[in-house]
Amino acid sequence: MSDSGASDSKPAKPKEPVLDRMAAAVQHVARPLTGATWRAPRRLKTLLSGSFLGHPLHPMLKDGVVGAWLLTTILDILWLINGGLFAWAAHAAQLTAMVGILSAFAAIATGTADWSDTYGPERHTGFIHGLLNASATLLYLISLGLRYDIFAGHLDVSQHAAANPAAAFVGFGGFVLMGIAAFLGGDLVFQLATGVNHEHFESAVRKWTGVGPMADVPEGKPYRVVAGKAPVVLLRNGEQIYAIGATCTHNGGPLDKGALDGLVIECPWHQSRFDLRNGHVITGPATVRAIRYDVRVTDGTVEVIAKK
């Protein structure tokens, strides 16, 4: 005898791993904190993304952290080997550890802003990367406290407090965690293509190429065409036609599906905004401008060429 109720029931949806659920919960909080859910122009998001540089801001700040804590490690090894000859190194390590911590706070803020737009494997890997870096920062904060004897209830700037073996070894732990996090950061960029210019993978035409009749281009609405193999979004404004690459440089979103505000178009995925006149980024998270195309009409056919 068949059980029709059992046969009609749908299989239960598999539960996400705990780490993925944690990542989703943290991302839900991080998005408004980093300005991702704000209304345009989303200045905080644009600042943290590094849109004003034409390059992501996080990698630059991360290099400051790595450099400072690498110096701290070297200096700690020196005075541990010979505290008499390298007594100065203990004091120098106090400074480099502090510089690394300050840089780490800025790197965490910008990294969180970048990570808030990820999903799937990128989000999972980025979450572990962030946890490791946050843990490394915590260890260096503890190390700095030991270097100044803060945990004893006072601030000691003497040579005796600076040359604290426990502080050095806690710092070594932080350096190891930072190294593992850096390895995962490499995976994010080189395996998962996080934060790279997605328009770079397309071959922009370097000679005049027809993309369709002028009569087919609607007035005042984004219109997608293909030039060679590269998608292009056109906007007709009277007899003037503007054209930029239709692939959002941030994460590959289709700009032709985005909202239009005058001559500014917004990516529907993460709300990066581009000027259709020149491809410049108006609002992050995108940092690289879109390819701009020159446009002409020949015998009723729209032709485009990528502007160098």
Predicted pLDDT at 84: 86
State residue 198's pLDDT score. Answer: 87
Strand, coil or helix: what is 224? strand
Q: What is the pLDDT of residue 11?
A: 62
* Average pLDDT per consecutive 10 residues, the chain (308 residues; last block may be shorter): 50 78 95 94 94 92 96 97 91 96 97 95 96 98 94 74 92 98 95 88 90 94 95 93 96 95 96 96 95 95 92
Within 8 A by CB and 6+ apart from 138, the residues are 174
pLDDT at 135: 98
Structure token digits, residue 106: 């800025």
Question: Alpha carbon of 77 to those of 9, 64, 70, 167: distances in Å?
Answer: 64, 20, 11, 12
With a threshold of 0.75, does the pTM exceed it? Answer: yes
Instruction: Report the 10 Å Cβ neighbour count for 288.
Output: 21
- Beta strand 292-298 pairing with 273-275: unpaired
Q: What is the pLDDT of residue 203?
A: 84
